[in-house]
Structure 1
Amino acid sequence: MIVWINGTHGVGKTTTSALVQELLPDSRVFDAEKVGGVLMDITPGLPETDNFQHWDPWRPLVVEFARRVLGYVGGTLVMPMTVLVEDYWREISDGLAAYSIPVRHFVLHADADTLRARIDGDTVMGPSWFRHAYVEPYLEAARNWLHADAEVIDTTGITPADAARRIADSVRAGGS
């Protein structure tokens, strides 16, 4: 199974994913961003873009990597990854479904003011123009498709540990 933790940059996916992994036996974290990093290392480079998700190979490579890892070690992959383009999400989720890999899709949500404050107050990465640039696209995706496609965890007033417990409890209960 895959537990996909979606939401915009800076909402707490990486922190929450590590905590979810601690709560779900036989699980491991796979950050699909690393697939993008591999693609960025190809030289001479791929076409210029502001986001590696726009490169056509990224999405099927994420599917293939996840499939191969699950086939090798089994268990659950916890995948923290922002996907705000509906067509990209459909390509990934349909690709995983073609291999009969169940996906539990969660979205970590916070209101715009909370998101901006978290981005500006991040003591590890510091304020990030990249993260700020995705607040509005996230809110648009949330209104148009994303929240309807996933289990939404509002993180505005809770800790990452609380969010992780909610995700793990939902996964263990088998709900959607």
Structure 2
Amino acid sequence: MIWVNGPFGGGKTQTAYELRRRLPGSVVCDPEHIGFGLHRTLPPALRADFQDLAAWRQGVRETLGLALRGHPGTVIAPMTLVDSGYYAEIIGRLREDGHTVHHFALLAERTTVLRRLRERGLGRGLKHESFAVARLDHCLERLAAPEFAEQIRTDRLTVPQVADRIAGSAGLSLLPDTDSALRHRLRRAWTGIRHIRFD
């Protein structure tokens, strides 16, 4: 399994889908969807950080474990995870269960991440990304810690280059990146649009 960690707006989803595109038989299993489901079962006033719910952490571990046991290809999980206890509870337990989990934290300068958040806001500005902005400094600080290795600095890397770094470190062979610059921009835009949240 490849767990793609990083701050909100750090490029996790784009990287995960680039890996899936170029790694035959791979699948993206997004732990965030489990959190969305838990939120939707609660009244709005009770919707805090779903990672603090034991049900989310247990559900992610069980769901990813099922995917790892039943799917013959690589499982890719893009998810921000900065609490070392939660990291141990999910990734540590998956490893204890005998699964190979390669973890990568995508890091960048604060200004780089803010620019990416503006871009994914589709003109709505950083106000729409207030949750991500409020947690940015904490995420960058925590993910630079040794327990969140392997870290990849992405400021000067394209998404395909980040995917290449991850694959090389995990011992995986990706298909060549044959996208033109225009096709790459369109693919990134489409991936971003598909993952816009409206709730």
**TM-score normalised by structure 2 residue count:** 0.78
Q: Secondary structure at 2:143's aligned position in 1?
A: helix
Relative to structure 1, the CA distance from residue 161 to residue 7 in structure 2 (aligned partners, 3 Å threshold; closer, same or farther) is: same
Query: Which sits farther off after the overlay, 119-128 or 60-69?
Result: 119-128
CA distance in structure 1 between the aligned counterparts of 2:44 and 2:85, rounded to whole angstroms: 21
The share of aligned pairs that are identical, in percent, is 31
Residue of structure 1 in register with 2:57 after alignment: 59
CA distance in structure 2 between the aligned counterparts of 1:138 and 1:151, rounded to whole angstroms: 15
Relative to structure 1, the CA distance from residue 107 to residue 117 in structure 2 (aligned partners, 3 Å threshold; closer, same or farther) is: same
Give runs of ≥4 in structure 1 deviating > 4 Å: 123-126
Decide which of 103, 108, 114 is 2:112's aligned counterpart.
114
Q: How far is 1:166 from its partner?
A: 1.0
Deviation sequence 1:30-58 (CA, Å, 0-9, x none): 11001101111225x49824311011111
> How many residue pairs end up in the alignment?
170
Q: How far is 1:23 from its partner?
A: 2.6
Residues 60 and 95 in structure 1, CA contact (< 8 A), matched pair in contact too: no
Residue of structure 1 in register with 2:178 after alignment: none
- Where do 1:1-176 residues align within 5 Å? 2-43=1-42, 45=43, 48-124=46-122, 126=124, 127=126, 128-143=129-144, 145=145, 147-172=146-171
Structure with the higher fraction of residues in strand conformation? 1
CA distance in structure 2 between the aligned counterparts of 1:66 and 1:48, rounded to whole angstroms: 26
Q: How far is 1:70 from its partner?
A: 2.0
Relative to structure 1, the CA distance from residue 104 to residue 158 in structure 2 (aligned partners, 3 Å threshold; closer, same or farther) is: same
Task: List gaps (5 residues or longer) in structure 1.
Answer: none
Task: List gaps (5 residues or longer) in structure 2.
Answer: 174-199
